[in-house]
Amino acid sequence: MQTLEPIVSTSPITLSPRASEELRDLIVSQGKDGAALRVWVAGGGCSGLSYGMALDDQQPEADDEIFSQDGIKLYVDTLSLQYMVGATVDYIDDAMGGGFKIENPNATSSCGCGSSFKTADDPGKVASGGCGSCASAR
């Protein structure tokens, strides 16, 4: 049986009040009581790194850090966390509809759509100036 780390109440990733509200509504509407928001960073995207987010109703993985804010659990793997300390998950409404957005102070540049970014620690990655999803969103 896996021993879980305790949930830490102060998170290095912040949920905006609007994101917390939308996440609570999403968890209820999908019938996923007890689900956590899993946030991660993966290689790829036009700027070198890309964000991912999903509701996760499974147990956390062995390398996950577990946080809680406004009654919402967050799972972030340790590798992703190093790129996201100080980031804020927000929910925005615009002409294209609503969606979650990550505002990351560690990003030195990002794609126009905000789903991919580069940090100062990745000098070899060069942003191409746009991605297919940015162009199609306009």
The CA–CA distances, whole Å, from 22 to 25, 44, 117 equal 5, 27, 24
Say what the pTM is. 0.72
SS3 category, 62: coil
Residue 79, pLDDT score: 92
Residue 65, pLDDT score: 94
Residue 72, pLDDT score: 94
The answer to whether 16 and 76 are in contact (CB under 8 A) is no
43 residue type, one letter: G
Q: What angle do CA 52, 133, 88 make, to 5 degrees?
A: 35
The answer to whether 44 and 116 are in contact (CB under 8 A) is yes
Residue 120, pLDDT score: 56
**Residues of the chain falling short of pLDDT 50:** 1, 113-114, 116-117, 123-138
Q: For the purposes of burial, counting CB atoms within 10 Å of the CB of 57, is it exposed (0-12), middle (13-18) or buried (19 or more)?
A: middle
Domains of the chain: 14-137 (2.60.300.12)
What DSSP state is assigned to residue 26?
H
